Amino acid sequence: MKKLVVKVFALCMLLTGFGLKAQKTAHVDLDSLLAMMPESKTAQDRMTAKLNELQTFLASLKTKYDEVLANFQAKGPTMSQMESNDAQEELARMEQRIQQRQQEAQQDYQAFSATMQKPIFEKVNKAIETVAKENKYNYVLSKAEGLVLYADPADDITGLVKKKMDTMPLAKLPEGAGGGGGIQKPGGGGVVKPKPGAGGGK
């Protein structure tokens, strides 16, 4: 029985090996592609502008709060109990408003960043998928995700993707100012699998 299990296991490993050999895999330097895109610089500038705008607004709220607090601390000893209570309630309301605006600003920035980055990654992914189909690759790994321990330089399609992107129109970014933070790579494990019709590569 034990020998049978070993033989079955060995057969499974052999079949798995054949399956892996049938898959054609490439790798790409996503960071390099993003860095060379003029759209990335434009998006970065708009995102930085948005962040500065939000930070300026929050700073103005904090400045106003500090002014009211300083006034209360200076005049507090001479205030009546009612005036003191009113001042403390106002400070509490202002503090709550600042916290609420901070949360809203963070959500606003994250939403804007995602909106700015979406067309950039759509262009990159489209170029990668097109190159993968043209060269019969089943999977494309991103070296930037740290999943690739070794990659044959012959299967590095970064240059091919760059050439393909050069033939494509610029990604259309949303108009308006936007907040900084840099271009963030999308999640998903760093693997791009071409849609059906990639040519198989088997």
- Closest to 202 measured CA to CA, from 28, 25, 14: 25
Is residue 59 within a helix (H) or strand (E), and if so which, with residue range?
A: helix 38-75
Residue 65: its pLDDT value, please?
96
Which residue type occupies 174? P
79 phi and psi angles, rounded to 5 deg: -80, 150
- Residue 7 has a pLDDT of 43
Q: What is the DSSP string of 65-113?
A: HHHHHHHHHHHGGGS-HHHHHHHHHHHHHHHHHHHHHHHHHHHHHHHHH
Measured CA to CA, the distance from residue 12 to residue 175 in angstroms comes to 55
According to the model, what pLDDT value does residue 146 have?
A: 67
In the block, tokens 């040519």 appear at: 199
pTM, rounded to two decimals: 0.69
| pLDDT score at 160 | 94
Query: C-alpha dihedral over 39, 41, 47, 48, to 10 degrees?
Result: -170
Instruction: Quote the pLDDT of residue 130.
Output: 95
Residue 152 near residue 37 (C-beta atoms within 8 A):
no
Q: Cα–Cα distance between 172 and 143 in angstroms, integer?
A: 26
Around Cβ 171, how many Cβ atoms within 10 Å?
22
CB atoms within 10 A of CB 47: 23
pLDDT for 143 equals 83
Question: Which sequence spans correspond to the domains of the chain?
Answer: 24-192
Residues 6+ apart with CB under 8 A from 150: none
Query: CB-hemisphere CA count at 13 Å for 155?
Result: 17
Helix (H, G, I), strand (E, B), or coil: what is residue 118? Answer: helix
In this prediction, residue 151 carries a pLDDT of 80
Query: What span, in angstroms and rounded, lies between the C-alpha atoms of 161 and 137?
Result: 13
Average pLDDT per block of 10 residues along the chain, 202 residues long: 42 45 83 92 94 97 96 92 94 97 96 94 94 93 77 89 91 65 43 49 42
Round to whole Å and give the CA distance between 129 and 193: 8
The confidence score (pLDDT) of residue 174 equals 83
